[in-house]
Structures are given as C-alpha cells and as structure tokens.
C-alpha cells in the first residue's frame, strides 16, 4: 500500500531535520564548483523561466499562496533565520565590502551646490548620486 501524503510529509520533516549535518559535510567535501555549474546552467534556467512565464505559472503560484501564504512563510521561516544570517561571522565583512563599493557614489553630490528646499539644484544632487550608484551597480 502506498504511503499517504501525511505519512510522506512526516517522514520528510523528520529526515530533513536530521540532514543538517549531512548538508554541511556535503558542502565542505564537494569537488564540484557550484558557481561554475550555475553559470553553465544559465541557458537552461532562461529557457525554463521563459516557459514558466509563457504558461503563467508564476502568477498561478502567487495566487495559490496569496498574501497569507507569503506572511506565514516569512514569519515561520524568515524571522527565525534572519538573525542567524546577520550574525554569521562573514556577514559583517561581506556587508562592508558590498556597501564600500558605493562609498564614492554616495559622495557624488558633494560637487553639486545645495539649493533651496525642492530646488532644481537639490534635484541635481540627487540625480548625481543616483547616476553614480547605478554606474557602480552596472559595473559589478
């Protein structure tokens, strides 16, 4: 007799929780270059996304889950894992490196004179920063 959905999900939940150590060991001991494999798979991913968009699968999935499904997932999984990710030893360093690339862009307005509140001069300052940040982002 085949397992029921409830039996399968109970087994999945139990085995998945017990698999964290196996996951870590697999990450540490792999000979595969995951970045290179992901880059090589980009054409297949693009084809899959194109097919999914054409079949309207994203919309159907979003409609099926809805706001309540998104909120439940974010609260049940996202909230408990948020601090774990932020507190990871490399997180602060990675944040500083990524944010540091924009340091010069954030100061791009320094060369544009300040004007009165709402003035074209102030809008030019904003435009200078936005254009400099966009240039950094597109150059990555």
Task: Give the confidence band of 69 by pLDDT, cuts at 50, 70, 90.
Answer: very high
Task: Look at residue 44 and give its three-state secondary structure.
Answer: helix
Residue 130 has pLDDT above 90, yes or no: yes
Structural domain harbouring 118: 100-139
The answer to whether position 42 is within a domain reads yes
Backbone angles phi, psi at 19, to 5 degrees: -90, 0
Measured N-to-C along each axis, helices 79-87 and 89-100 cross at an angle, to the nearest 10 degrees, of 80
How many Å is the maximal CA-CA distance in the chain?
78
pTM: predicted TM-score of the whole model, two decimal places: 0.57
How many domains, in total, are found in the chain? 2
Q: Give the tens place of pLDDT for each residue, 6-23.
A: 888 888 888 887 788 888
Q: Are residues 105 and 81 in the same domain?
A: no
Q: How far apart are CA 110 and CA 31, in angstroms?
A: 49
Q: Are residues 37 and 82 in the same domain?
A: yes
The answer to whether position 47 is within a domain reads yes
- Mean pLDDT over 86-90 rounds to 90
- 12-21, 64-73, 87-96, 106-115 — which one is most confidently predicted on average? 64-73
């Amino acid at each position: 007799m085949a397992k029921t959905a409830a039996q399968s999900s109970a087994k999945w939940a139990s085995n998945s929780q017990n698999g964290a150590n196996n996951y870590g060991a697999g990450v540490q001991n792999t000979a595969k270059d995951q970045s290179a494999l992901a880059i090589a798979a980009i054409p297949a991913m693009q084809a899959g996304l194109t097919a999914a968009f054409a079949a309207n699968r994203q919309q159907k999935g979003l409609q099926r889950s809805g706001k309540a499904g998104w909120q439940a997932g974010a609260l049940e999984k996202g909230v408990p894992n948020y601090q774990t990710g932020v507190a990871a030893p490399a997180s602060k360093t990675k944040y500083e490196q990524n944010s540091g690339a924009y340091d010069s862009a954030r100061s791009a307005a320094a060369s544009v004179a300040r004007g009165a509140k709402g003035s074209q001069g102030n809008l030019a300052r904003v435009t200078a920063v936005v254009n400099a940040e966009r240039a950094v982002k597109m150059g990555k």
